[in-house]
Amino acid sequence: MFGILCSSVIISGNVLGQDGEIILIDSDVTWVEDDFLEGNLKIINGGKLTISNSELTISSGSSIEVDEGGKLIIDNSTLLSENMPTGLIGYGYCDSYNRSALIIHGENYDNDFEVIIEASYGTSFNGASAYIGEEIILLNGTEFSYSFNNQDGIVEIGLQGYGCTTPVSISKVKIRHGELIIEYNAIQMDYRNMKATGERNYEIHVSGMFYSYNSNIMGAKIKSTGEINLIDTHLDRSGPILIEHDNSVIKISGESKFTSSLDDHDIRAFPESMILWGDEVSGSGGLTDKWERRIKGQYLEFDAVYVEYQILGLYGINKYTNFSNEEGISYIDGGRERIVEIEWSDDNIWANDATWSEDAIINVIKYRTAWNPENSEIGNYGTYGIKLGNDMVTKIDQNTPSIQWVSLESKDNINSSLGSIKMVAKIINNGDAAAHLAISCYINSTGEMAQTDSFPNSIIAPRETGEIIFNWQSINPGAEQLDCKILTPTQLVKEDSFGGGNLISSTINWEKASEDGQGLSYIMPIMIALIIGIISIGYFLVNRK
């Protein structure tokens, strides 16, 4: 390992590092001569590297890593990839305005000439089409040629991939003029509605700070969770810069410019990342926009399973529909990365505003449980018009009930009885939607099911206290209490999502029946209720399975 340990050092030389070696910067260091970097450069906390008035060529597979607390400054210098992307690829459009095209200057060649176009490695022209004047030519294979006769002006060769959406990718263009063949990398040609393609062979990872003044950054793959400041800087084939944290910052000012970014935007950022783009800054232009903000892994959270919802206003999706899963979760667009903001290219003619920002709303379509079944008078839980923001999790709990016990007492506060007594369960609904709920009751001392009406139930309106009045029968003398539980819907992910719980009643003293059989009139109703309770399957029991 090569370590720089001095507090202020000026380094010059021809080759820095070797393949696989780490060059460690942990102090204030300045490089002032042209160099070749081979290996990995790491600026750690407290380290500062200034590359001044020089050109640093960086070999394939090398990297520059700026740790948190580290600082990289490029001043009047150039970072240059040993191997630059040299190909061109279209955007996948078919209309004549947005279709990809190579531009040939026929006036540069006397009389007749031939243009030979080669597909990028691993691709072909199969199914593609070329548009030259009024002529449409079907292509195949990995090479296409066309001869021009007495062409002394500018001509366009429009290129359309298979099925329109498949972009055409080209690596080289050869022009045969007489006995002379001139070969160009595709990026050297004049073109329209195409972007650079190929491998960017070195990376810059910024967790600390990166400043560039009056410099060139060529062929770099830049990722940042820290802060980037670009002043009067040219980024050629170094876009899109990837801003990978909501707290990250990128500031571009002066006459900075992007050229030939490798995607349809120059910067890709998180939803809350700070992007400051100066008035004099220019992007790659054409169909390449200034920036996109993206989010992935975003999901909705419901209290219940299989809740159906729709989202209106997502980019490229008119109406997105899905259901919550068995955990009450539903990933938006399957959790895939999606665009939430676009700052359009200055060349655009398709947008009325400079910026498109997601303005999506969530509409709950079907939210049914045992407390609001489809055949009940209670409507769907949830609601329409819920704003979708940039939070990773959006909780959908609007228009749902919130149930709590108030009291469980005998009617008229009677504390003794022979055979049967009326009980009153008071329950409050602090939520925003009604609930049709039932209770089940047990003997507190034994845990055995109490002899009551079969699943006493009631509809409790929102913001109101409701009563469930039911009979409790007993043939066993002595003091006893009821332990009653609110039966919650099995559709809930967590049993207490809508509230519920249990409550123990006040003590009831059951009197002993007389020996002359006068208690028989109390026992018979109890036996009948027992039989009915055994053979009845109530609605709520079904929904608890």
Q: What is the CATH number of domain 403-543?
A: 2.60.40.3880
* pLDDT given for residue 264 in this prediction: 96
Q: CATH second-level architecture of 87-197?
A: Sandwich (2.60)
C-alpha triplet 351, 353, 354: angle, nearest 5°: 95
* pLDDT given for residue 17 in this prediction: 56
Report the residue count for the chain.
545
* pLDDT given for residue 112 in this prediction: 87
Q: Same CATH fold, 403-543 and 87-197?
A: no
DSSP SS3 for 113: strand
Specify the pairing of strand 420-429 against strand 8-11. Answer: unpaired
Q: What is the CA radius of gyration of the chain?
A: 37
Residue ranges covered by each domain of the chain: 2-83+202-295, 87-197, 299-396, 403-543
6: tokens are: 């001095």
CB–CB of 204/228 below 8 Å? no
Question: How many Å apart are CA 344 and CA 501, to the nearest integer?
Answer: 54
The pair phi, psi for residue 334, each rounded to 5°, is 70, 15
Question: How many Å apart are CA 171 and CA 174, to the nearest integer?
Answer: 10
* pLDDT given for residue 253 in this prediction: 98
* pLDDT given for residue 5 in this prediction: 34
* pLDDT given for residue 87 in this prediction: 98
* pLDDT given for residue 352 in this prediction: 86
Characterize 413-436 residue by residue with b for buried, 16 or more Cβ atoms within 10 angstroms of its Cβ, and e for exposed.
Answer: eeeebbbebebbbebbbebebbbb
For the chain, which ranges sit under pLDDT 70? 1-20, 514-545
Q: What is the 3-state secondary structure (H, E, C) of 442-471?
A: EECCCCCECEECCCCEEEECCCEEEEEEEE
* pTM of the entire predicted model: 0.85
Question: How many Å apart are CA 299 and CA 392, to the nearest integer?
Answer: 6
